[in-house]
Amino acid sequence: MTVPGTPATTTAAQVRRIVGAMAPEPRPDLADDQRLIEDLGYESLRLMELTVVLERTFGLPRYRPEELIGVRRVGEVVTLVTDSLSARVRP
């Protein structure tokens, strides 16, 4: 799902831009299969900061730790945010 008034591709692109901009070792060719820790240099504190920025940018409630356990790649971050936005607009 998307932020109201924006297409899904725009939301995904915005998530990728944030992930890339905050990466300690940014890559010019950011791809969904890149690993946050091994490829982009994220460590635990930086991952927490990324989570807070995504929550605030998209107006999401705080993620619970169990929701974040399997999120290891850029594409999984995109899916987490888009699924959260989708759940937020469901009745």
* CATH number of the domain that residue 39 is part of: 1.10.1200.10
Total tally of structural domains belonging to the chain:
1
Q: What's the predicted TM-score (pTM) here?
A: 0.85
pLDDT tens profile 49-67: 999 999 999 999 999 999 9
Query: Which residue segment(s) compose the domain that 31 sits in?
Result: 8-89
> Which parts of the chain sit beneath pLDDT 70?
1-9, 89-91
Task: Compute the distance between CA of residue 3 and CA of residue 89 in angstroms, rounded to an integer.
Answer: 9
- Residue 34: which of 18, 57, 16, 11 has the closest Cα? 16
The 10 Å Cβ neighbour count of residue 73 is 20
For the chain, percent helix, then strand, then coil, each to nearest 5? 55, 0, 45
